[in-house]
Amino acid sequence: MAVRAMALHPSRFKNIRTIFFANLIWGLCSGFYNVILQPFLVDYIDSEFMFGLIMTAANLAQLIPMILVSEVSDRVGRKRVYLAGLFLYIPAMVLFAISSMVPIALPLFLIISGLLLVNLGFGISDPALVALTAESSDEDKKASSFSFIFIAIYASGLVGPIIIRIFANQIPLYYYFYGLIGGYTIMFLYQLFRLKESFVIEDFTTNFWKQFFQSMKALGQVTVQFFISILHFLIMPFLLIFRNLSEKTESSQLLRNVKRDMHLVGDIFKTKGVKYAIGYFIFDSFVFGLSLNIYNGAVKYVYAYTESHIATMQLVMSLSTIIFFIPLTKISDKLKRKEMLMMSQLAGSLFFTTNIIAHFTLPEYRLYVILVGWAGLGASIAFWVPSILSILSDFDKKRRAEVYGMVTGIKGLGWLPTGIIAGFIIEKTIDTMGLLVPFIISIILYPLLLFLTMKFPETDKRKNNDNDSSIEEAVEEVQHN
């Protein structure tokens, strides 16, 4: 199972429409999942710090695959790896659904296992999907394509919060997971039948059962590559220390593979703009993560908000995202990436400021103030998605998924500790300051984030076009490795 040629599949352009309709299902599922997950967890966890620790562990399960196994889709195909990761959502929802039916000692174990599977699935599938979308788009319409497919998520994402808002006190939270089992299964099967590989694949087949087993085989390859990559990364320091000795002796296959991966990582960091982008993303994730990582659970602790209130917040955010996404599907390719990043950060700052104001607002008006911040967050997402995905998918077109996974995974290091930090701060200050302290820290750091955004390097489109002209050479390198 390997890329036969770097030639792009002639029918790949149909993928944008397929992903759009699949994202309608994804948005429908996410609309429920994002609202109910943290309140569902809070019912089993009585400590803000422990809650943050669990969310951090889940984030780690997402980051490691992004960093270590993204190269698999560059070797065996985007669709197979994407579907392999997506498939993990189905058993995760099963674990959530049955958690309320087992003896008292087991629910938290099942819930954490499900949470790890969800994040693992996202870490595996997201780089492959971004690369697939970029390769299925016209070069001059890439940002617009990302805007187009993501508007589907937020459009259908309105349904979940509305239903939960209406039936908040009538339907137990875990019931929704049964619906999510069906939703993710339909999404998986739809894309199994409709999605095309963006590259020509050596063992391409139109038989859907074979495609299914190939995706499951890709999941096995991802798992194997995961452990192999860990081994390679552990060996790299010794290779650097004893480099002179290794050059004088005949290298084993393992050592040659470690050298190859070490050079690959080095090449990624040598790519223009990558090092700045990684530092920028880590800092951005830290600033926003302090306020967002455990927000839905925190407002249940501090303000006694129910899933109905959280659904309202998600609804306002989705509406705002859609309103800004609609024009961006037309104009995002005409704007500079840095301009969209700046607009995203300015809109996102509303989330910090309104939550600080909300602390001093009367309880009967507090939710309305908070909703203004969620509207700003929605606008921030609309500007952020096409700019960031276009930037990350253009760094190295020879290894889109690998570079995207590496940069995004490392970026998550900034998000990683924020759940623990925010949970610890809230737990220690809840009686006097509630949610206030994490937002104060975020707003203090915000001017520096804005400055870094202004300095973000522009993508060299001419260089990218040169990369496209040498795409055939890239295949030989992929096959050789």
**pLDDT digits over 93-112, tens only?**
999 999 878 765 677 888 88
Cβ burial of 91 (10 Å; 0-12, 13-18, 19+) is middle
Phi, psi (rounded to 5 degrees) for 460: -85, 95
Give the torsion sign (CA, 409, 156, 189, 129).
negative
Contact 174, 100 (CB under 8 A): yes
Phi, psi (rounded to 5 degrees) for 343: -65, -35
Residue 274: predicted pLDDT:
77
Contact 336, 387 (CB under 8 A): no
Cα separation, 315 vs 297, whole angstroms:
17
At 354, the pLDDT band (50, 70, 90 cuts) reads: very high
Residue 248: predicted pLDDT:
55
How confident is the model over 72-92, as a mean pLDDT?
A: 85
Q: The CATH number of the domain where 303 resides is what?
A: 1.20.1250.20
Residue 56: predicted pLDDT:
83
DSSP for residue 4: E
Phi, psi (rounded to 5 degrees) for 416: -55, -50
Closest by alpha carbon to 352, among 369, 338, 365?
A: 369
pLDDT surpasses 90 at 375? yes
pLDDT surpasses 60 at 1? no
Tracing tokens 């830290």 back to the chain, one arrives at 286
Cα separation, 106 vs 100, whole angstroms:
9
Cα separation, 86 vs 189, whole angstroms:
10
Cβ burial of 462 (10 Å; 0-12, 13-18, 19+) is exposed
Instruction: Name residues whose C-beta falls within 8 Å of residue 188's C-beta, 6 or more positions apart in sequence.
Output: 83, 86, 87, 89, 90
Range of the domain at 136: 3-480
Residue 137: predicted pLDDT:
79
Q: What angle do CA 399, 412, 173 make, to 5 degrees?
A: 115
Pairing status of strand 199-201 against strand 3-8: antiparallel
Closest by alpha carbon to 288, among 332, 345, 232?
A: 345
Helix 436-454 and helix 274-292, axial crossing angle in degrees, nearest 10? 160
Contact 311, 165 (CB under 8 A): yes
Q: How many domains does the chain have?
A: 1
**What sections of 195-273 are H helices per DSSP?**
208-241, 243-248, 253-270
Cα separation, 87 vs 222, whole angstroms:
13
Residue 246: predicted pLDDT:
56
Predicted TM-score (pTM) of this structure: 0.74
Residue type, 328: L
pLDDT surpasses 70 at 227? yes
Contact 165, 36 (CB under 8 A): no
pLDDT surpasses 80 at 237? no
